[in-house]
Amino acid sequence: MKIILDPYQLNLTIQRLAYEIIERHSDLSNTVLIGIQPRGVFLSDRIAAHIRKLYPAIDIKYGKLDITFYRDDVRNELHAANKTDIPFSIEEKKVILIDDVLHKGRTIRAALDALLTFGRPRQVELCILIDRRFSRELPIQPDYCGKAIDSIISQKVTVEWDKEEVVLY
């Protein structure tokens, strides 16, 4: 076991991701944040809260997307669905999808499929806490990355939100 981000580093990384989003989207009125259920929501909750703290007068549009039935492995095992909560239109919006770990890219592919059932965004960007760079099966890359790591396929990266740390097993 190796700690990739300790609680202090995790908090700084989340703040940096929020600042990077603000830098690229100075006018947040046409930008929406969407956390991918279930694990991306822990990160997206914190990023959205940090942006709201910095800009309390701006109404940050924030939603949560369930991808359970868009996954390509749903046929092989039974999945329990989460809740999608997107109480606004994404039509012609700049959407920032947020997830905790980018590994093979299949979760993001499923999220893109699910997202398109809600409309056609102007642009979609990807915000990731941990990018496992060399394990991609699909050509998906993050626009915002907390930390990129090199790991072998047998290793597992886990964001332990209760302990506020990221661990490589």
User: Which domains does the chain possess?
Assistant: 2-168 (3.40.50.2020)
Question: Going edge to edge, which strands form the sheet with 2-5?
Answer: 2-5, 165-168, 157-160
pLDDT attached to residue 72:
77
Q: Is the pLDDT of residue 100 over 80?
A: yes
Residue 119: count other Cβ atoms within 10 Å of its Cβ.
14
Q: Is the pLDDT of residue 81 over 90?
A: no
- Nearest to 130, CA basis, from 53, 39, 61: 39
How far apart are alpha carbons 83 and 15 in whole angstroms?
26
Find the mean pLDDT for residues 94-102.
Answer: 98
Find the mean pLDDT for residues 144-152.
Answer: 95
Which 3 state secondary structure label does DSSP give 26? coil
The alpha-carbon radius of gyration of the chain (Å, integer) is 16
Give residue 152's pLDDT band: very low, low, confident or very high (50, 70, 90): confident
Q: The pTM is what?
A: 0.93
- Tokens 């700690």 found at: 3
